[in-house]
């Protein structure tokens, strides 16, 4: 289910996004914003942060450094 | 990551780094602040060269000035000598990184650093995709046992103090898991 949102965006950012849509890189602005938000959430996720912490533990205790 | 590298310092000097161990480290703000909160900032002094990018330096100076005071003797403040390459610029934008994180990754790549220290998930992803080895505060803390900078008991006490003494965010159950791993390591 999609939910409508209202957001204030910097004008130049919105223009660049619209240019990408017009050039056919993405089908519409809704998809572009959803994709951008998805990528942001993926790269800042708690699961990922915890994965990195576990890697640090292995490296710290058993790594060659 | 063994390699031969040449370190450009802020004063223009170069420092050769040919060891097989980690020698050249670039720091983002998080580990500097968190390690100082845990009274462990001196752990970083075991690396041959520790670079703090300009923007990170200013950020830490604002949020935790005592960490800058404490690191002055073994850390060097550096400014990138190159413009951010287009591929790295695209990567850092993709991950919505802040100025300090961008500068740290740029310097780490420029200097062929052995290690970048950051506690930011997105910065770790971006740095790893740029071919840079990345670790965070906990890695440095646990490394201290192997390097005999701290005993396992001391590290366990520091781990227990994280929720009350530090702004490092770590879920309680994960911290417990880490504690148990250190205890198991200590027993072997």
The pLDDT value given to residue A42: 80
The pLDDT value given to residue B1: 37
Is B51 in contact with B27 (CB distance < 8 Å)?
A: yes
Tell me the average pLDDT across A6-26.
93
Q: Which residues of A touch B174 (CB under 8 A)?
A: 50, 53
| Residues in A lying within 8 Å of B, measured between beta carbons | 39-40, 43-46, 48-50, 52-53, 55-57, 59-65
The pLDDT tens digits of the residues spanning B81-132 come to 899 999 999 999 888 899 999 999 999 999 999 999 999 999 999 999 999 9
The pLDDT value given to residue B9: 45
In 3-state terms, chain A is what percent helix, strand and coil (to 5)? 70, 0, 30
Please report, for chain A, the start and end positions of each structural domain, with discontinuous segments joined by +.
11-62
CB contact under 8 A, A60 and B143: yes
Indicate the pLDDT class of residue A10, thresholds 50, 70 and 90: very high
Indicate the pLDDT class of residue B25, thresholds 50, 70 and 90: very high
Residue B179 structure tokens = 């504690």
Model confidence at B18: pLDDT above 70: no
Cβ–Cβ pairs < 8 A, chains A and B: 70
Model confidence at B163: pLDDT above 60: yes
The pLDDT value given to residue B17: 40
| Cβ-based neighbour number of residue B164 at 10 Å | 6
Q: Which residues of A touch B121 (CB under 8 A)?
A: 43-45, 48-49, 52
Intervals of CATH 3.40.50.1010 along chain B: 5-137
The pLDDT value given to residue B112: 94
Superfamily of domain B5-137: 5'-nuclease (3.40.50.1010)
């Amino acid at each position: 289910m999609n939910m409508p949102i209202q957001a204030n965006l910097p004008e130049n950012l919105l223009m660049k996004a619209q240019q990408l849509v017009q050039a056919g890189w993405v089908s519409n602005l809704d998809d572009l914003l959803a994709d951008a938000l998805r990528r942001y959430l993926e790269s800042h996720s708690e699961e990922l942060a915890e994965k990195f912490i576990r890697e640090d533990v292995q490296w710290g205790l058993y790594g060659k450094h | 990551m063994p390699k031969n590298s040449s370190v450009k310092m802020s004063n223009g000097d170069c420092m050769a780094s040919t060891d097989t161990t980690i020698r050249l480290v670039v720091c983002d703000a998080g580990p500097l602040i968190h390690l100082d909160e845990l009274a462990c900032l001196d752990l970083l002094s075991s690396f041959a060269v520790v670079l703090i990018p300009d923007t990170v330096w200013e950020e830490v100076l604002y949020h935790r000035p005592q960490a800058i005071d404490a690191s002055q003797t073994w850390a060097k403040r550096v400014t990138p000598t190159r413009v951010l390459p287009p591929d790295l610029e695209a990567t850092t934008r993709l991950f919505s990184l802040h100025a300090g994180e961008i500068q740290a990754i740029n310097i780490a790549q420029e200097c062929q650093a052995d290690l970048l220290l950051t506690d930011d998930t997105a910065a770790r992803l971006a740095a790893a995709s740029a071919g840079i080895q990345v670790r965070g505060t906990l890695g440095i803390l646990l490394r201290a046992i192997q390097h005999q900078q701290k005993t396992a008991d001391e590290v366990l006490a520091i781990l227990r103090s994280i929720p009350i003494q530090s702004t490092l965010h770590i879920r309680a159950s994960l911290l417990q898991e880490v504690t148990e791993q250190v205890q198991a390591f200590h027993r072997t």
